[in-house]
Structure formats: structure tokens, C-alpha cells
């Protein structure tokens, strides 16, 4: 579970538009905006080297931050988008969404598989197949997990672990509710490729029956 909410320092940005954004980047800053929470959007900048380091460390998009902005009260926020240079793949713009403690929001949460080396199926010669390295959950802003843990010690060849087998953090639930989807399984030697193809086919079939994806510019799913 998430521990102390980390502070993240950002600076108000006075200028707007492409010219101001280009100047910010020349100053080794990444322009961005904080929006939502029933307040007007606030243009900001963040130090490039700080953002780059945090992105490289991983988990940035699933972390709840205590956003510290000069001249404003601290707010809880999550990153909802990082635009990158198409050539250099470096961050060029960042979006934060303000949240209240009881706000509910969709987050991709990493899955950590425990006791993989001692797993019965693996020790018997089976192949461990990670189907979902992360799971999209609806969580509360005051209780966002760093990850969820799945113990695979007793998993045998031919068996798998589904989302229903996992004890999720209080207040969390899967976004996918129409099926008990697979997180990982153990296939017999040589069977990994077939297992992954079957799962991919199932995911594709489910996607065809789902709702259309939101159009560009739609606000990310969140419940204030």
C-alpha cells in the first residue's frame, strides 16, 4: 500500500501559448497544467531533470502526489498525461488532475508476483506466463496502492491465477467486470506461445464488444 504521499514541487506559469512553452523548455522546464477539482486550470512548470528522473524510476502515473504550488494551498493530484518529443522521447508537457481524498479514479496498478522462483509449476518444468503485468483499477485518491501482490507458490502446470483470486486493497475494484480475467498461468513446456495467443484472442473479442474509446481531449475518468 502507498505510504506517505510524496511532495512534488511545481511553479506557476505566467505565460501561455506555444511561445511561452518553448521558452520554458529552453529554461530546462517542462510546461504543464493542473486541472479538475472544481477549480480553474492552473498553468505550471516543473524542472525537467526532476520529471525525467521520476519517469525513469517508474510508477509515476500511478502515484498520488501532494502538489506544492507557490501561492496556493497544497493539493492532491495524479499525473494524467505526459506528452513526449516524437524523436527524442523526452517529456514536453505534463497534465495533473486535482483530487479530493474520496475522489475515485481509474489507475493502472502494477502486479508483483511473489515466490516465482519457488513456484511448484516452474520447478516442475512449466513456463510462467505473465498475462497482465498491471491491472486497471478504480481506486480512491486517499488509498492508491503502489502495487498488488499475487502469490504463485502453489501454482501447478496447467493452472492460472485470476483477478478473483486476488485480495484487492479496500475501496478498489477492477474496471473490467464482465469476466474473471487471467493475470498469469503456468503452461507445459512449449505451450507458452499457445497460451498467450488464446489470451490475446479473448482480449480482442472482448474489446470488439466494448464501448468506443473516448475521443481525444476528453477528460480522464474520475469521480469527484
Verify that 109 and 86 share a domain, yes or no.
no
Mean pLDDT for all residues in the chain: 83
pLDDT, tens digit, 9 for 90 and up, residues 33-43: 999 888 889 99
Verify that 16 and 34 share a domain, yes or no.
yes
- Domain boundary at 39, 70, 99, which? 99
Percent over 90 (pLDDT), the chain: 50
Domain that holds residue 33: 7-99
- Domain boundary at 49, 65, 99, which? 99
**What's the whole-number mean pLDDT along residues 135-141?**
89
Give the CATH number of the domain where residue 171 resides: 2.170.120.20
pLDDT, tens digit, 9 for 90 and up, residues 51-73: 999 999 888 887 888 899 887 88
Verify that 126 and 69 share a domain, yes or no.
no
- Domain boundary at 99, 116, 142, which? 99
State the pLDDT at residue 83: 93
Nearest-angstrom CA–CA distance, 196 and 181: 13
Instruction: Provide the number of structural domains found in the chain.
Output: 2
Give the CATH number of the domain where residue 14 resides: 2.40.240.10
Verify that 40 and 110 share a domain, yes or no.
no
Verify that 118 and 56 share a domain, yes or no.
no
pLDDT, tens digit, 9 for 90 and up, residues 169-219: 888 999 999 999 999 999 998 754 555 556 656 665 665 555 444 444 444
Residue 64 CA: distances (Å) to CA of 13, 30, 150: 22, 19, 23
pLDDT, tens digit, 9 for 90 and up, residues 5-19: 789 999 998 777 788
Inside any domain, residue 216: no
Amino acid at each position: 500500500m502507498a505510504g506517505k504521499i510524496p511532495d512534488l514541487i511545481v511553479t506557476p506559469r505566467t505565460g501561455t501559448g506555444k511561445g511561452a512553452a518553448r521558452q520554458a523548455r529552453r529554461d530546462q522546464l517542462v510546461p504543464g497544467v493542473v486541472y479538475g477539482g472544481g477549480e480553474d486550470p492552473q498553468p505550471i512548470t516543473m524542472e525537467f531533470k526532476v520529471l525525467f528522473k521520476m519517469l525513469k524510476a517508474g510508477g509515476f502515473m500511478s502515484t498520488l502526489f501532494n502538489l506544492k504550488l507557490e501561492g496556493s494551498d497544497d493539493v492532491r493530484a495524479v499525473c494524467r498525461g505526459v506528452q513526449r518529443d516524437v524523436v527524442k522521447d523526452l517529456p514536453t508537457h505534463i497534465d495533473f488532475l486535482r483530487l479530493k481524498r474520496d475522489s475515485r479514479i481509474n489507475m493502472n496498478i502494477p502486479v508483483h508476483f511473489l515466490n516465482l522462483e519457488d513456484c511448484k509449476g516452474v520447478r516442475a518444468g512449466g513456463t510462467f506466463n505473465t498475462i497482465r503485468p498491471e491491472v486497471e483499477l478504480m481506486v480512491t485518491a486517499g488509498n492508491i496502492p503502489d502495487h498488488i501482490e499475487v502469490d504463485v507458490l502453489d501454482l501447478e502446470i496447467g493452472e492460472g491465477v485470476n483477478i478473483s483470486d486476488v485480495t484487492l486493497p479496500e475501496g478498489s475494484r477492477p474496471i473490467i467486470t464482465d469476466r474473471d480475467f487471467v493475470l498469469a498461468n503456468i503452461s507445459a513446456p512449449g505451450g507458452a506461445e499457445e497460451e498467450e495467443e488464446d489470451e490475446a484472442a479473448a482480449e480482442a473479442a472482448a474489446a470488439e464488444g466494448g464501448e468506443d474509446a473516448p475521443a481525444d481531449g476528453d477528460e480522464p475518468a474520475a469521480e469527484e
